[in-house]
Amino acid sequence: MLSLHVDTARTWRGGQNQALLTVLGLRGLGHRTVLVAHPQGELRRRASEGLDLIGLAPRTELDLAAAWRLARVLKQIQPEIVHAHDPHGVAVAAAAIGYGGMATKPTLVASRRVDFPLKLNALSQWKYRQVAAFLCASECIRQILIGQGIPRERALTIHEGIDLAHVDAAPPVSVRETFWLPTNAPIVGCIGALVEHKGHRYLVHAAADIVRAVPEARVVIFGEGDLRNELSRLIHELGLERHVLLPGFRPDVLSLLKAFDVFVMPSITEGLGTSILDAMACTKAVVASDVGGIPEVVERDVTGLLVPPRDASALSAAVIRLLRDPALAGRLGGAGRARVERRFTADRMVQETLDVYHRLRA
* pLDDT tens-digit profile, the chain (362 residues): 999 999 999 988 889 999 999 999 999 999 999 999 999 988 988 887 666 889 998 888 888 899 999 999 999 999 999 999 999 999 999 999 988 777 789 999 999 999 988 887 888 888 899 999 999 999 999 999 999 999 999 999 999 999 999 999 999 999 999 999 999 999 999 999 999 999 999 999 999 999 999 999 999 999 999 999 999 999 999 999 999 999 999 999 999 999 999 999 999 999 999 999 999 999 999 999 999 999 999 999 999 999 999 999 999 999 999 999 999 999 999 999 999 999 999 999 999 999 999 999 98
Rg, C-alpha atoms of the chain: 21
Residues near 222 by Cβ (< 8 Å), separated by ≥ 6?
189, 190, 191, 192, 247, 248, 249, 250, 253, 256
Surface-to-core class of residue 166, CB atoms within 10 Å of its CB (0-12 exposed, 13-18 middle, 19+ buried): middle
Going by C-beta distance under 8 Å and a sequence separation of 6 or more, which residues neighbour residue 210? 188, 217, 219, 316, 319, 320, 323
pTM of the model: 0.92
Cβ atoms of residues 192 and 198 within 8 Å: yes
Closest C-alpha among 234, 236, 162 to residue 194: 234
Q: What pairs with residue 248 in β-bridges?
A: 222
Q: What is the dihedral of CA 30, 160, 197, 152, to 10 degrees?
A: 100
Strands 218-222 and 187-191: parallel
Alpha-carbon distance 194 to 214, whole Å?
Answer: 25
Residue 54 gets which letter from DSSP?
E
Superfamily of 3-161+345-361 according to CATH: Glycogen Phosphorylase B; (3.40.50.2000)
- Specify the domain boundaries for CATH 3.40.50.2000 within the chain: 3-161+345-361, 165-343
Q: Where are the alpha helices (DSSP H) in the chain?
A: 14-28, 42-46, 64-77, 87-99, 122-129, 139-147, 164-169, 175-178, 200-213, 228-237, 253-257, 274-281, 294-297, 312-324, 326-343, 346-361
Q: Supply the CATH classification number for the domain 165-343.
A: 3.40.50.2000
